[in-house]
């Protein structure tokens, strides 16, 4: 099997879907001749032409509006934002138009909005955010946050084939840092299904995107101390795999909820409520949240490091929870 980076896996997934289905097309800022800000669509215009790889103005609301209109007529647009921080510019289109189309009159809206999110790249407060929870909160949208190259390819293909609108968050820190073998054959990873990234029996860390790798590194350290940690990778935040979450709680009896998003209103609070409602009797300790701080993302590298959850934070909290 070929070894692909996280970025190349996404690129290959979109390419394969465009080869497979002529209704799939891409649109976004500088995605054509330039090949995209991070080069995800590099070479696409040479293979598929300017009619299927559309350069747009710097106008996120217009990009979503055009994609929505195309989706309503039977196309499957894949819209790129250069940075997901600017998805707020299209908030009305996404939450009031796209998300409600099926509810209002039964119309499918098979479209994907994708782009880079996340920090740890010293991009500052306008190029490092994790805005996923605005859309997890919006009924009618699916929200995807892959952590691995294998999942990134399988999930982007599943997102393109889905008849519902999907917001696809690609963690930019992982783009060229994560590599693994990815099947050359066609495959999809189903939306709404978490995966156990590491088995363990003493406690579980539930997380997603780049924090999966922080959790796995912490689990390696803790294993040398005899603490066996399960790591559950959510993969998608909407729909959320409630069965996998409660199963982790019942297998390990202690939970750490880890995410890069800020604490207030983050997915950790929702997961804690689910466990409280459905698996409270299985808990042998308090649910622990490890998150970013409730501030904008700092530009300064040492401040950003203090802002983001680190491996040392996870190890410290896991030791305390294990001894509870």
127 catalytic residue (yes or no): yes
Residue 155 has phi, psi (to 5 degrees) of -80, -35
* Helix (H), strand (E) at residue 26: strand 24-28
Strand order of the β-sheet with 76-80 is 53-55, 24-28, 76-80, 112-117, 166-171, 142-144, 236-238
Alpha helices by DSSP H, listed for the chain, are 6-20, 44-48, 60-72, 91-92, 101-105, 132-136, 149-161, 211-223, 242-252, 267-278, 301-307, 311-322
**DSSP-based three-state secondary structure for 76:** strand
263 vs 323: CA distance, rounded Å: 24
What are the beta bridge partners of residue 229?
203
* C-beta neighbour count of 34 within 10 angstroms: 13
Q: Output DSSP code: residue 174.
A: G
81 vs 98: CA distance, rounded Å: 16
Side-chain-facing half-sphere of 175: CA atoms under 13 Å: 17
25 vs 54: CA distance, rounded Å: 8
The closest of 208, 206, 110 to 152, measured between CA atoms, is: 208
Q: Which of 102, 122, 127, 259 is catalytic?
A: 127
Helix, strand, coil percentages for the chain (3-state, nearest 5): 40, 20, 40
242 vs 194: CA distance, rounded Å: 9
Strand order of the β-sheet with 229-233 is 195-198, 229-233, 203-207, 255-262, 288-292
Catalytic residues, by residue number, are 127
């Amino acid at each position: 099997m070929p070894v692909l980076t996280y970025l190349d896996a996404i690129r290959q997934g979109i390419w394969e879907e465009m080869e497979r289905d002529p209704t799939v097309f891409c649109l976004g800022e500088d995605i054509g001749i330039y090949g995209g800000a991070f080069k995800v669509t590099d070479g696409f215009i040479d293979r598929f032409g300017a009619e299927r790889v559309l350069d747009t103005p710097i106008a996120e609301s217009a990009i979503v509006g055009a994609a929505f209109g195309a989706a309503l007529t039977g196309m499957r647009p894949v819209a790129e934002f250069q940075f997901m921080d600017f998805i707020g510019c299209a908030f009305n289109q996404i939450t009031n138009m796209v998300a409600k189309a099926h509810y209002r009159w039964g119309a499918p809206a098979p479209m994907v909005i994708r782009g880079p999110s996340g920090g740890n790249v010293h991009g500052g407060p306008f190029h490092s955010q994790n805005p996923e929870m605005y859309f997890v909160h919006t009924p009618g949208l699916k929200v995807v946050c892959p952590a691995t190259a294998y999942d990134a390819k399988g999930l982007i293909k599943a997102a393109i084939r889905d008849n519902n609108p999907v917001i696809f968050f690609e963690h930019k820190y992982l783009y060229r840092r994560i590599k693994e073998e990815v099947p050359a054959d066609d495959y999809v990873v189903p939306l709404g299904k978490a995966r156990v990234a590491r088995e363990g029996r003493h406690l579980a860390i539930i997380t997603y995107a780049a924090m999966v790798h922080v959790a796995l590194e912490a689990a390696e350290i803790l294993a040398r101390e005899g603490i066996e940690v399960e790591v559950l990778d959510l993969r998608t935040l909407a729909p959320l795999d409630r069965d996998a979450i409660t199963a982790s709680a019942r297998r390990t009896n202690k939970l750490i909820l880890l995410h890069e998003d800020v604490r207030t209103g983050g997915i950790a609070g929702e997961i804690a409520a689910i466990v409280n409602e459905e698996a409270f009797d299985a808990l042998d300790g308090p649910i622990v949240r490890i998150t970013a701080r409730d501030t904008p993302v700092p530009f300064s590298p040492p401040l950003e490091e203090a802002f983001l959850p680190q491996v040392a934070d996870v190890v410290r909290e896991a030791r305390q929870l294990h001894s509870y």
